[in-house]
Amino acid sequence: MQLNSTEISDLIKQRIESFDVVSEARNEGTIVSVSDGIIRIHGLADVMQGEMIELPGGRYALALNLERDSVGAVVMGPYADLKEGMKVTGTGRILEVPVGPELLGRVVNTLGEPIDGKGPIEAKLTSPVEVIAPGVIDRKSVDQPVQTGYKSVDSMIPIGRGQRELIIGDRQIGKTAMAIDAIINQKDSGIFSIYVAIGQKASTIANVVRKLEEHGALQNTIVVVASASESAALQYLAPYSGCAMGEYFRDRGEDALIVYDDLSKQAVAYRQISLLLKRPPAVRHSQVTYSTFTHVY
């Protein structure tokens, strides 16, 4: 069978018209080193500070070091199977966690995933962990107290809605107990509570959750857990996640009490990450910290 030039031309045109290619632009890089939960990536040219980087296996890493020819990132999860040469992809978004009333009464990890065995959380909204704080003009004046349940505190050094308070002292003197009692005292006050456990033993956290449950305060509380067995990255990010969950209530004209227990562990985790990334380490020691959110105008 012979084809003339016209038929060949028509056949080529038909093939070209029916040819369908789906193109996809991706910011892709290659892992060049893996060490103690820190990965260095070559080729992610347009990655931004704090961006989520997608790893094989559905995991993510957080970009913290933006260098001339590589990116340093901390893996948020297991990293034993990560190897040099693996491909990773920039997502173009920063870390977000689920927020909303659906989280009340639940125990979640740093990423907002449930770890209490009560099923999935059907949160309708998410919020980035890094947002610009409201300006001084937009903030409501501190004019209402938070009743902690301790008469000595409430009468002599009252804590206002919208301020921070540091509880500092030696070990085993009741700092955590005071913070938990303050949360229990809010169960009928209309103030929502967030308890962020950083670097603690799982048994200690279980006891706290049990105490909140026994006193009927868990239903108005979100418990964010980054235990001692979690990676340094998750311990470092836990306060940011808890803060984002508290800001959800603040932005809707409601009040929230958040307890960080304790920020010393977060400082140690940040120091560890900084040393692994070859950044200047800085440790600011503190113990249990109250933060109370009040709504803005």
Kindly tell me if the per-residue pLDDT of 295 is higher than 50: no
Domains of the chain: 28-94 (2.40.30.20), 96-293 (3.40.50.300)
* Average pLDDT, integer, range 166-181: 89
Q: 295, 287, 294, 293: which is closest to 179 by C-alpha?
A: 287
Look at residue 169 in the predicted model and tell me its pLDDT: 85
Look at residue 22 in the predicted model and tell me its pLDDT: 62
- For residue range 85-142, list pLDDT tens digits in order: 999 999 988 999 999 999 999 999 999 999 999 999 999 999 999 888 888 888 888 8
Residue 44 tokens, joined? 């992610």
Which residues have C-beta within 8 Å of that of residue 112, sequence separation ≥ 6? Answer: 97, 98, 99, 103, 121, 123, 126, 241, 245
Element holding 195 (H helix, E strand): strand 192-198
pLDDT bracket for residue 297 (50, 70, 90): very low
Proportion of the chain above pLDDT 90, given as a percent: 54
pLDDT bracket for residue 215 (50, 70, 90): very high
Upper half-sphere CA count for residue 119 (Cβ side, 13 Å): 3
Look at residue 86 in the predicted model and tell me its pLDDT: 93
Q: 60, 104, 122, 52: which is closest to 245 by C-alpha?
A: 104
Bridge partners (DSSP) listed for residue 167? 288
- The mean of the pLDDT values for the chain is 87
Residue 29 tokens, joined? 């890089």
Kindly tell me if the per-residue pLDDT of 296 is higher than 50: no
d(CA 197, CA 205): 7
Question: Looking at the whole model, is its pTM more than 0.75?
Answer: yes
Kindly tell me if the per-residue pLDDT of 68 is higher than 90: no
Residue 7 tokens, joined? 């038929």
Kindly tell me if the per-residue pLDDT of 24 is higher than 90: no
Which residues have C-beta within 8 Å of that of residue 232, sequence separation ≥ 6? Answer: 37, 74, 269, 270, 272, 273
